[in-house]
Amino acid sequence: MAGNTFGKIFQLTTFGESHGSAIGGVLDGCPAGLKLDLNFIQSELDRRKPGQSTITSQRKESDAFEILSGVYEGITLGTPIAFLFRNEDDKPSDYENLKDVYRPSHADYVYDAKYGIRDYRGGGRSSARETGARVFAGAIAKQLLGTEKISIRAYVSQVGKIKLEKEYTELNLDKSETNMVRCPDETVAGKMIQQIEEAKKGGDTVGGVITCVIQNVPVGLGEPVFDKLHADLAKAVMSINAAHGFEYGSGFEGAAMKGSEHNDIMLAREGKNKLVTKTNHSGGILGGISNGMDICFRVAFKPVSTLMMNQQTIDSSGNAVGLKGKGRHDPCVVPRAVPIVEAMAALVLADHFFRNINSKLKT
């Protein structure tokens, strides 16, 4: 049973291999009557696309999307929104050396074992190119959430050993987009960029962490007991290529705390039942349900697996061989993963927004 569909009411299905004719998706469950800002969609895609700066892959991907259905004169029809991106810049020659070899820590091997067939021309379905479809759909989700004033902003908070020590509350998140690593603190951003450039120079790569902040969330999003809001956020971002860890609120640090330190003292109730607490170790979510405080989570990404240096691996006969990466790959995935994290968060929030609508009888 395939896993290419995400969401229950606001539902995205993606398709496409990196070197097939197109990648794309079908977004179903978007209500009729939403006026789409196509420029905004494009600007979100531009934040994800390779070649945007000197610290990302220099690969060129077509960033021209085509909407096939579900939109008429710029307004959603309530029917499935299908869209695609043509694959243009494929250089299968970059991959010919991979025909019979598996790349270390790549998905080549397991795809071959699982499906018994291998399209060696690039990552196929495991390629990060698939995330373009997520960003497209996420841009629509953001516009929907925007009608409710919900905002979602992510930024890079760690690259390799360089960590941004400040909390998001001490930062101006609007500054994230002013530098190519997407870190809202300029000084730290400079160090991060240097770290990436050094890795790149050595043919190496480096991991990182993205922090995401969701603000103005209404109380009540998230469903007991399995579809807790943070559980669905965890799944959403862990499904992004290279993600290795997720934490929200106090996260792993919370494990070392005492209850008397960790509990968020309730101060007041505001507006539409939003809670105000002194601290926010709960990360805006109690028992899996949003409480109105900011939602804050972090995602860890491993370093990119394709290296421009020699590595030992095996071929399809199981024999040991050496392999050196070719092509144009990212030395660090996190700058381009920022809009993907935001997109996945937006898909979760939009889905839960609609799921919550029938929680109680209207009176």
Give the C-alpha separation, 105 to 205, whole Å.
13
- Indicate the burial class of 129 (C-beta count within 10 angstroms; 0-12, 13-18, 19 or more): buried
**From the list 37, 40, 52, 67, which residue makes contact with a second copy (rule: CB under 8 A)?**
67
Site for a second copy in 302-331 (CB under 8 A): 302-307, 309, 311-314, 318, 320
Per DSSP bridges, beta strands 81-86 and 65-67 are: antiparallel
* Residue numbers 130-149 binding a second copy by CB under 8 A: 130, 147
Q: State whether the Cα torsion 344-350-353-356 is positive or negative.
A: negative
Q: What is the Cα–Cα distance from 357 to 221, expressed in whole angstroms? A: 9
Q: How far is the CB of 124 from a second copy (least distance, A)?
A: 7
> What is the rounded distance in angstroms from the CA atom of residue 183 to the CA atom of residue 171?
10
The stretch near a second copy (CB under 8 A) out of 36-44, 92-100, 179-187, 199-207 is 199-207
Instruction: Tell me which H or E stretch contains 200.
Output: helix 186-201
CB nearer to a second copy: pick between 35 and 166: 35
Binding flag, residue 361, a second copy (CB under 8 A): yes
- Asked if 196 and 181 count as a contact pair (C-beta separation under 8 A), the reply is yes
Rounded to the nearest whole angstrom, what is the least distance from the CB of residue 153 to a second copy in the complex? 20
Does position 190 interact with a second copy (CB under 8 A)? The reply is no
Size of the site for a second copy (CB under 8 A): 149
Which residue number, 45 or 101, has a Cβ lying nearer to a second copy? 101
Owner of token pair 């990436």: 196
Residue for token pair 């925007």: 146
Tell me the C-alpha distance between 327 and 280, whole Å: 45
* Span interacting with a second copy, options 28-36, 41-49, 173-181, 186-194, rule CB under 8 A: 28-36
**Backbone phi, psi, residue 285, to 5°:** -135, 125
Burial (CB < 10 A; 0-12, 13-18, 19+), residue 138, is: buried
Residue ranges in 160-179 that form contacts with a second copy under rule CB under 8 A: 160-161
2 near a second copy, judged by CB under 8 A:
yes
Nearest residue (CB) to a second copy, 97 versus 172: 97
Read off the tokens for 185. Answer: 């603190």
Contact 176, 116 (CB under 8 A): no
User: In whole angstroms, how close is the CB of 151 to a second copy at the nearest point?
Assistant: 19
Task: Considering only residues 205 through 264, tell me which ones interact with a second copy, judged by CB under 8 A.
Answer: 205-209, 219-220, 222-228, 230-232, 234-236, 238-239, 241, 244-252, 254-264
Question: Would you state the structure tokens that stand for residue 234, as one six-digit string?
Answer: 């965890």
Shortest approach of a second copy to residue 170 CB, angstroms? 21
Minimum CB distance to a second copy, residue 358 (Å): 5
Q: Which is nearer to a second copy, 91 or 235 (CB)?
A: 235
Closest CA to 65 of 124, 134, 145, 154: 134
Across 212-225, b (16+ Cβ under 10 Å) vs e yields: bbbbebbbbbbbee
Is 104 a binder of a second copy (CB under 8 A)?
yes
**What x-and-dash track marks residues 74-93 binding a second copy by CB under 8 A?**
-x-xxxxxx-x---------
* 114 belongs to the binding site for a second copy (CB under 8 A): yes
Q: Judged by CB, which is closer to a second copy: 56, or 356?
A: 356
